[in-house]
Structure 1
Amino acid sequence: MGIRMNKWLLIVILSLATLIAAGCAGLTGPSRVVNVGMATNYPPLAFQKEGELKGMEVDFAHALGESLNATINIKTYSWQALFEALDTGEIDVVMSGVSVTDARKEKVLFSNPYMDVGQMAIIRSADAGRLAAKAQLMSGNYRVGYSLNTTGQKFVTEQLKSAPQIGFATQQDGIDALLNNKVDYFIHDAPTVWQLTSSYPTDERLFGLYAPLTEEHLAWAVNKENAALQQELNEALGEWSENGFLKQTVSKWIPVSVVLSAE
């Protein structure tokens, strides 16, 4: 009898321990951690303000944590270091306004696109009368700046071969060069051009040329070996498209007309 009672007590104790452990795990939050990589020099998609991360990609990352029942750990890198971090496993996904290109497809898996954009040009407002026409840009007679290792660089080097070209490490370096008359055009992604020239407060010295120069799709990148996470990202994007969160978030950070991907 004593042995049977001891066995019964042991079962009860183990059951209680299991329940307590499960309850504690619930209190500490999800056990899964997803490391997200961002370059934070890309307003309005990802940037630092008063020591805090902000932007459209930041909002998406936090929402992704809820969709995946995971803790999101955002890690910041320079743009050039993002894909190396993905390749080495330091991060699980790049969420940083990445344009889908054939060259990048060879190295990473992309989620479905969440926004359709393109490269655009910024000029000085004082030059709007003489440089606003696309024909002037395409003539190759003016100095053109771009951010290094971006699709803006690809456009300039392939389509404006005769133009004097200058690559800059950051977007801000390029804008400073434009304002200081070191280049006549600065090429960057549409969200950057919209944010700098159509959002309040706007720098009145800058004038955006809103005619897209290219057609591009923004998406998130994961390691080639992580098709499971790619599928989870696509499922989250599908839910956000249906419930309106995707459009709402884009409109919050880019208050101009944007074409959302139908995929």
Structure 2
Amino acid sequence: MKSPWGRCAFAVTAAVVATLAAACGSTASAAAPAQAPNLNDIVKQGTVRVCSTGDYRPFTYRDPQGQWSGIDIEMAQNMAQRLGVKLDLVPTTWGTMLGDLGTKCDMAMGGISVTLDRAQHALYSAPYLRDGKAAIVRCADRSKYPTLARIDQPGVRVVVNPDGTNADFDKANIHHATVVDFPDNNTIFSQLLDNKADVMITDASEVRWQTKANPQLCGESLDHPFTFEQKAYLIPQSDPVMQQWVDEWLNIAQNDGTYAAISQKWTGQVISAT
């Protein structure tokens, strides 16, 4: 049996399609480019495809056996359940995510920061978590890097995963230190532990997770990060109805204890968008 959320999705989508058809009239062209599956199609097919990188704990992780876990993996499971469809998790990368959105998947989830560049190419859900860039270093060297200015010095090695907002931040702010690309975001923190790099600048939420998992690593600027950021979910530009539904689901999940329980499980606290 489809959930009432699914039936609601049919009704909302039908109303939007009818309105657009009336407005366009005879100007609609049979040669118009194909659109990405919309909410109506997702409910009909019985599956929602969610792209995720699987390399950004505590939001998304895909282990060598292909098993997924994390805050946004559990949120995606809850979303699919309330929509009354199956969840299909699709691996993507930070560099290909926008291209995969609307072709390989219907949404993207997994610690995705809200940026103006991404907003030019996709719709965002309402934000669900506030974040910002902070530093993670070896605890033994913590006193050396209390500020961004002390990090950006000759001889300091700043390791970064390419193609994401960490790389964008380093490009804009690191001018004197040496930036070292490391392609595997799942193992990048070993570069600090093995003394192959001195600092990594990433989101405070990831720093908290990694310092909890690795007692030799410590965070800097967690309470006063270098930037203001928020996390949200990405939706194709062609599906504003999906965006509206996701916002309504997210609002309910944030107020009925669903998000709080998942956030507490993975971070030890409830981190909100404000």
Separation of aligned partners in 2, 1:84 and 1:207? 35
Determine which structure has the larger helix proportion and give its number: 1
Distance 1:236 1:140, change over 3 A: farther
For 1:145-184, list aligned pairs within 5 A: 145-184=159-198
Answer yes or no: is 1:129 the counterpart of 2:140: no
1:38 Cα deviation from its structure 2 partner: 0.8
Q: Number of paired residues?
A: 229
Match of 1:76 in 2: 91
Separation of aligned partners in 1, 2:109 and 2:57? 13
Pairwise CA RMSD: 2.1
**Structure 2: 5+ residue runs without aligned partners?**
1-42
- Aligned 8 A contact 1:152 1:187 in 2: yes
Match of 1:234 in 2: 247
Q: Identify which of 225, 233, 256 aligns with 2:238.
A: 225
Match of 1:207 in 2: 218
**1:205 counterpart letter in structure 2:** Q
Separation of aligned partners in 1, 2:270 and 2:69? 21
TM-score (norm 1): 0.80
Distance 1:116 1:193, change over 3 A: same
1:257 Cα deviation from its structure 2 partner: 6.3
**Structure 1: 5+ residue runs without aligned partners?**
1-28
- Aligned 8 A contact 1:45 1:58 in 2: yes
Larger Rg: 1
Distance 1:172 1:47, change over 3 A: closer
1:58 Cα deviation from its structure 2 partner: 0.9
**Matched residues, percent identical?**
24
Separation of aligned partners in 2, 1:140 and 1:116? 32
**1:206 counterpart letter in structure 2:** L
Separation of aligned partners in 2, 1:138 and 1:104? 27
Kindly provide the CA deviation profile for residues 72-111 of structure 1, in whole angstroms up to 9, marking residues without a partner as x: 1111223323222114x11000012110101110011100
Bigger CA drift: 214-223 or 152-161?
Answer: 152-161
Kindly provide the CA deviation profile for residues 189-248 of structure 1, in whole angstroms up to 9, marking residues without a partner as x: 2221111103xxx32221111241111111110111111111111010111122121222
